[in-house]
Each structure stands twice: as structure tokens, then as C-alpha cells.
Amino acid sequence: MIGTILVSLFVLLFVRTQGFVSGREISPDTFVMRDFQFYEIPIVHLQITPIRRTASTPKTATYLRQKKLIGNPSSPSSRWDLVNISRGFTGGTPLDGQLLVDHLSLEHQGNAYWRQWSIDHPGQAKVFWPVIQRLANRELYLLMPPLFELAQRQQTAAELSAEIDQLLVIQYRDLILDMRSAKRDELANGLLNEALSDFPESDELKALSQPDATADAQANLPAVASLSELSAK
């Protein structure tokens, strides 16, 4: 009996410490965020308690919805993208959604940085945020950081729009080539279709639809502006 009690206490303590799971998720439809936590049986990751969720949406995301700078559907999808997750003592694991959440949560001198930027640059904000939301809906968070850098330059809304388009074409091209090099052709083709729907007149993207496009595009990369070169302008 004593052995059973000791084993039970050990299991309880093990689950209590190593089985605690917490994290954050974001809705790409509305930029609403929520934190969650629950307990699971470690190693097998079997959930044993209900999920508790609390709202954690930052001021910037709320402002963007209120000012209709991003879509705010009456019936948003049920999709939630993981931002980070932590299990026991292993520490947090950031995921791609963290790249957006870091900017939406950024504070500067006591103010929400990108909320204030949107107030100070209303024309640029109307151009910028729909692009960010479109990328979020496609789970392309990896393409966002250079766009946030680009948005902070002194330029008109029309100039920002043109720079964003040019940068995104390069980012899509590079990502598609990377996917094809990794033999992930289905994903590459899906990205190409999305890119062409946004930029149907892009010769660089249309060239990727041709046979042997990957080899030809990689051979010609030095002659085309690179992402790092464009970001440095």
C-alpha cells in the first residue's frame, strides 16, 4: 500500500510539473489572440484536463479591427495558428506566428508601436495591413519581417505599395525555388498559384511555370535583385 501511494504521488508530481502545457494562438482572420493551458500525460501527450483559454489580444490588433485596416468577418473561421507552446520544464517553442505577434505586441515609450505608426501614417496603413493579413491567412509568416522593415521608411502610400509588390515577388520566387530544391513540388506549386493570383503580370513568377524553370531561375539569380539587396535600399 505504501509503495502504491508513493508511486501515485510520484506520477502526480511528474504530471504536475512535466505535464503542464501552455501557449498562445492567433486567429489570422481577426488577429485576435488567446492564451491557453492544460495538463497532459507527458511523453505520450495525452490531454487529461480541459483547455483553459484567456484573451490576450494586444492594443494594435484591436485598433486594426476597429479602424477596418484588416478584415473583421462576422463569422471568422475556426482556424487558430500556434504562436508558441511550452511543455513542462522544456521551455517555450516559438512558431512562425510569433513573427507577427512580436510586431503586434511591440511597445515603444509606453505606446503600442504599430498602432501609433498606423495613426501617424493612415495612407500607408491602408496599404500595409491587408497585405499582412493576406500572408497570415496563407500561413506565410516567414515573409513578414522584411515588410515591417520596409514600412518604416519615409515614403508615400503609393511608393510603399510598389515596394511591397516588388519585395513579395522576390520572396515568393526564392521560397518557391527553395521548395522545389527540397523536392516539395506540391507546396511549391501551391505557392506559385497564390503568387500569380496576386501578381499575374510578373515575368519572374510566370517563368517559374515553364519546364525546367527551377534550373533556369537559379542560374539567373545573380542578374535579378536579391531580397537582401532590396531590403538594404
Please say if the pLDDT value at position 222 is more than 60: no
Position 218 confidence tier, pLDDT thresholds 50, 70, 90: low
pLDDT at residue number 228:
41
Asked if the structure places residue 149 within a domain, the reply is no
Asked if the structure places residue 150 within a domain, the reply is no
Position 233 confidence tier, pLDDT thresholds 50, 70, 90: very low
Asked if the structure places residue 45 within a domain, the reply is yes
Asked if the structure places residue 128 within a domain, the reply is no
**Domain range holding 45?**
1-112
Quote the number of domains for the chain: 1
Asked if the structure places residue 129 within a domain, the reply is no
Instruction: Collect all residues with Cβ–Cβ distance below 8 Å to 86 and sequence separation of at least 6.
Output: 21, 22, 23, 92, 93
Spell out a b/e string for 148-179, using b for 16 or more CB atoms within 10 Å of the CB, else e.
bebbeeeeeeeebbebbebbbbbbbbbbbbeb
Residue 75's CB: how many other CB atoms inside 10 A? Answer: 6
Residue 224 has what DSSP assignment? S
pLDDT at residue number 168:
97
Query: For residue 171, which phi and psi values (nearest 5 degrees)?
Result: -65, -45
Asked if the structure places residue 11 within a domain, the reply is yes
pLDDT digits (tens, 9 = 90+) for 28-77: 999 999 999 999 988 788 888 999 999 999 999 999 999 999 988 877 77
Asked if the structure places residue 14 within a domain, the reply is yes
pTM, two decimals, is: 0.83
Please say if the pLDDT value at position 117 is more than 80: yes
pLDDT digits (tens, 9 = 90+) for 125-168: 999 999 999 999 999 999 999 999 999 999 999 999 999 999 99
**What average pLDDT does this structure show over 207-230?**
55
pLDDT at residue number 2:
74
Contact (Cβ atoms closer than 8 angstroms) between residue 84 and residue 105: no
Asked if the structure places residue 185 within a domain, the reply is no
